[in-house]
Copies of this chain bind each other. A is one copy, B any other.
Amino acid sequence: MAARDKFHNAVKLGLEKEKWRITHDPLKLEYAVDERVEIDLGAERILGAEKAEEKIAVEVKSFLNDSALADFHTALGQFLNYRLVLEEIEPERTLYLAVPIAAYKSFFQRELAKASVKKYEVKIIVYEPVKEEIVLWIN
């Protein structure tokens, strides 16, 4: 299994351990009526999950590339565009960015990352990819 898929599955299993029901894998996002725009990019799949009355969408990131900063730029752009679409088509579903614990403990403690997450109101799920567990929810 590709590393990226392992990380995706770790988040999925982690959510299930916390009693979330995975309803979409992938959750497809489409914007506009007259032109079909597939936001799901294949490589980076989004999960849809539900628990009680709560609905979430989870953009799973591995942060496996050499440059965490480059990964973060892309993750942020995707997150904000996905959220834009969700607010339009399914405003009751909350979008989270899932980040592995190693990236959270290093890159996400840097000033730029902290300032950016705060400014753009990025909600984060921190996960442990080997134990396949959710470690932290940051709203």
**Can you name the residue of chain B whose Cβ is closest to the Cβ of A115?**
B84
Task: Determine how close the nearest CB of chain B comes to the CB of A7; give it in whole angstroms.
Answer: 19
Task: Determine how close the nearest CB of chain B comes to the CB of A45; give it in whole angstroms.
Answer: 14
CB distance A69 to B41 under 8 Å? yes
Copies, count: 2
User: Does A51 count as interface, using CB distance less than 8 angstroms?
Assistant: no
* CB within 8 Å for A111 and B31 given contacts A67-B41, A69-B41: yes
Chain A, interface residues (CB within 8 Å), range: 20 to 34
Q: How far is the CA of A88 from the CA of B119 in the complex (A)?
A: 12
> Which of the residues B74, B84, B111 comes within 8 Å of A37, measured between beta carbons?
B111
The 9 closest A-B pairs by CB, nearest first: A77-B77, A32-B111, A76-B77, A73-B77, A31-B112, A73-B78, A74-B74, A37-B112, A81-B116
